[in-house]
Amino acid sequence: MSELPEDYPMLHIYPSKGAREPVIIKGNAGGLCALVNALISAIAHPNSSGVAEVFNGDAEVYEVVVHLVTTHEKLSPVPDQNSQQ
């Protein structure tokens, strides 16, 4: 097996396959640290989003956006992928 490059934050977030099935997050140390930093940033700055720029296994960069919400109305709807509410 080939080792993941340490120079790039690699992260995969796999959706649940069904009810009561877990969401799985896999990544190298850099990718997991980027996710933790996005979580902390969202909590520390509730009026803005926490963002992690990470790479997937195909070396494509993408953003993980974390929002702190305080109401059921803001938590419930699935966000539009084209708007960063």
Q: What's residue 78's pLDDT?
A: 76
Phi, psi for 76 (deg, rounded to 5): -70, -50
Predicted TM-score (pTM) of the model is 0.84
Instruction: Tell the residue number behind the tokens 């909590």, with chain if given.
Output: 43
- Kindly list the distances between the CA atom of residue 15 and the CA atoms of 22, 26, 72, 80, in Å, as whole numbers in the listed order: 8, 12, 21, 17
Find, among 23, 66, 45, the residue nearest to 75 by Cα: 66
The per-residue DSSP string of 26-56 comes to EE-HHHHHHHHHHHHHHHH-TTS-EEEEEE-
Question: Mean pLDDT by 10-residue block, N- to C-terminus, for the chain (85 residues)?
Answer: 88 94 96 98 96 92 95 82 56
